[in-house]
């Protein structure tokens, strides 16, 4: 289990994300979890909150679905773009599968496809290395990754090993064929652009970048992973798997965001919703039991999507202050509201019954 936020001494960790805003040394924030749990909304809001505490923030989507543009309602590309309404928050969307343009220009595409087939994941590794190189030259205070579903995220962390394999394969080829490759490239008039030393240099350079970044990823002062989930069995299971994997990679994780929560205090009359609240509570209790040293933030299920900067900013208050239901069950106000809702429901049902009776008479 990754180290958490101080639950061992009997003090419950703060159920908000304030710890992330207060950690001034933080450089990389990964936001991950199962598909469809609200990662993009959470990473967008975290980046907005960080922008109020840090000098400059970059939020990057490495998910081919690219929901960042939908969340902010602004078109983003593979180059950092200033988010409308901010002067220090930038966003970019990269597709790990289609980032090989640079290589194509260097006459390497044939070689690359060979290498890609030989070592699964090397194309993603290279594009990720290029992207990290770019990000490092830009010098943002903190970078938030809105990552693709869990498996992809963990693959990013295995990239140094993947590239190591690629380099070993290339060295083996070099030793096997000696100067044959160089002679062939000169024979076909390709000059030095397919020179194997240049290729090896390129791969070595990328490996260095990724190893340097991975060293930072394993430093809890610089990097943390925020797990987003919903209070259901599959999501609990996926989160546990993710936390175990992160511990294996020595990546710090001590924040869990439970999204789409129905709160028991709400004045709910629906039997379906009441059953759902009961089911959710069972899993929320399990989250608290498993991760008693984590900062666990619960977010309410909303009747509408959170889209656009204004909606994201409005919703961000639940990240800093635990959600409280507007009306507490059993109070005079709540019972009054329930009576008024039941009256209007009764009126609707009576008028519907009237319509049906009249329709029957006409027939």
Domain co-membership, 203 together with 337: no
Q: Taking the CA atoms of 334, 335, 340 and 343 in sequence, report the sign of the dihedral they define.
A: positive
Question: Helix 122-138 and helix 196-217: axis angle, to 10°?
Answer: 70
Domain coverage including residue 133? 17-325
The residue behind tokens 């930072």 is 216
Domain co-membership, 297 together with 148: yes
Query: 143: which strand partners?
Result: 28, 58
Average of per-residue pLDDT across 247-264: 90
Least trusted range by pLDDT, from 92-106, 279-293, 319-333: 92-106
For residue range 22-55, what is the model confidence (pLDDT) as tens digits? Answer: 999 999 899 988 888 888 999 999 999 999 999 9
* Assigned domain for 204 exists: yes
Domain co-membership, 138 together with 119: yes
Output 102 or 280, whichever has higher pLDDT.
Answer: 280
Average of per-residue pLDDT across 319-343: 78
Domain co-membership, 184 together with 124: yes
* Assigned domain for 2 exists: no
Domain co-membership, 272 together with 356: no
The residue behind tokens 């009776």 is 357
pLDDT over 60 (residue 309)? yes
Cα–Cα distance measured from residue 335 to residue 341, given in angstroms and rounded to the nearest whole number = 10
Domain co-membership, 354 together with 269: no
pLDDT over 70 (residue 248)? yes
Output 179 or 87, whichever has higher pLDDT.
Answer: 87
Domain co-membership, 152 together with 60: yes
* Assigned domain for 11 exists: no
Number of domains in the chain: 2
Burial class (CB in 10 A: 0-12, 13-18, 19+), 135: middle
Domain co-membership, 159 together with 223: yes
Instruction: Tokens for 241, please give them.
Output: 């798997």
Q: Which has the closest alpha carbon to 34: 121, 128, 157, 152?
A: 152
Domain co-membership, 337 together with 233: no
**Kind plus residue range of the DSSP H or E element containing 271:** helix 271-290
Burial class (CB in 10 A: 0-12, 13-18, 19+), 125: buried
Domain co-membership, 152 together with 269: yes
* Assigned domain for 1 exists: no
Least trusted range by pLDDT, from 34-43, 170-179, 305-314, 336-345: 170-179
Domain co-membership, 120 together with 152: yes
* Assigned domain for 21 exists: yes
pTM of the model: 0.76
Average of per-residue pLDDT across 321-331: 75
Binding residues for ATP: 34-41, 232, 259
Output 137 or 229, whichever has higher pLDDT.
Answer: 229
Binding residues: 34-41, 232, 259
**Kind plus residue range of the DSSP H or E element containing 77:** none
Whether 116 and 147 have beta carbons less than 8 Å apart is answered as: no
pLDDT of residue 340: 80
* Assigned domain for 29 exists: yes
Query: 59: which strand partners?
Result: 91, 144
Cα–Cα distance measured from residue 275 to residue 262, given in angstroms and rounded to the nearest whole number = 11
For residue range 94-130, what is the model confidence (pLDDT) as tens digits? Answer: 876 544 444 444 444 555 555 555 556 666 666 666 6
Cα–Cα distance measured from residue 160 to residue 214, given in angstroms and rounded to the nearest whole number = 8
Whether 30 and 226 have beta carbons less than 8 Å apart is answered as: yes
Domain co-membership, 206 together with 351: no
pLDDT over 50 (residue 3)? no
Name the residues annotated as catalytic.
63
């Amino acid at each position: 289990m990754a180290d958490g936020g101080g639950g061992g001494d009997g003090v419950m960790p703060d159920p908000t994300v304030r710890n992330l805003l207060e950690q001034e040394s933080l450089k990389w924030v990964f936001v991950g979890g199962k598909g469809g749990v609200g990662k993009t909304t959470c990473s967008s809001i975290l980046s907005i909150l960080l922008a109020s505490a840090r000098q400059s923030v970059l939020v990057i989507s490495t998910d081919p679905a690219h929901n960042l543009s939908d969340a902010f309602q602004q078109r983003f590309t593979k180059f950092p773009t200033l988010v409308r309404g901010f002067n220090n928050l930038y966003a970019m969307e990269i597709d790990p599968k289609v980032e090989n343009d640079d290589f194509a220009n260097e006459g390497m595409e044939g070689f690359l496809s060979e290498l890609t087939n030989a070592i699964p994941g090397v194309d993603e590794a290279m594009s990720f290395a290029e992207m990290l190189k770019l990000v490092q030259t830009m010098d943002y205070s903190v970078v938030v990754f809105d990552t693709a579903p869990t498996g992809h995220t963990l693959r990013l962390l295995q990239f140094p090993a993947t590239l190591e394999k690629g380099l070993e394969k290339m060295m083996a080829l070099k030793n096997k064929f000696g100067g044959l490759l160089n002679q062939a490239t000169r024979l076909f008039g390709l000059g030095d652009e397919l020179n194997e030393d240049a290729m090896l240099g390129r791969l070595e350079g990328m490996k260095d970048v990724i190893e340097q970044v991975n060293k930072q990823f394993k430093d809890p002062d610089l990097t943390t992973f925020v797990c987003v989930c919903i209070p259901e069995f599959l999501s609990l299971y996926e989160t546990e798997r993710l936390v175990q994997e992160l511990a294996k990679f020595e990546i710090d994780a001590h924040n869990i965001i439970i999204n789409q929560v129905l709160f028991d205090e709400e004045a709910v009359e629906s039997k379906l919703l009441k059953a759902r609240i009961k089911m959710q509570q069972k899993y929320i209790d399990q989250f608290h039991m498993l991760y008693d040293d984590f900062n666990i933030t619960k977010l309410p299920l909303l009747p509408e999507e959170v889209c656009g900067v204004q909606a994201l900013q409005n919703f961000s208050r639940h990240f800093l202050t635990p959600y409280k239901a507007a009306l507490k069950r059993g109070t005079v106000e709540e019972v009054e509201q329930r009576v008024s809702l039941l009256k209007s429901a009764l009126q609707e049902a009576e008028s519907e019954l009237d319509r049906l009776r009249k329709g029957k008479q006409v027939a």
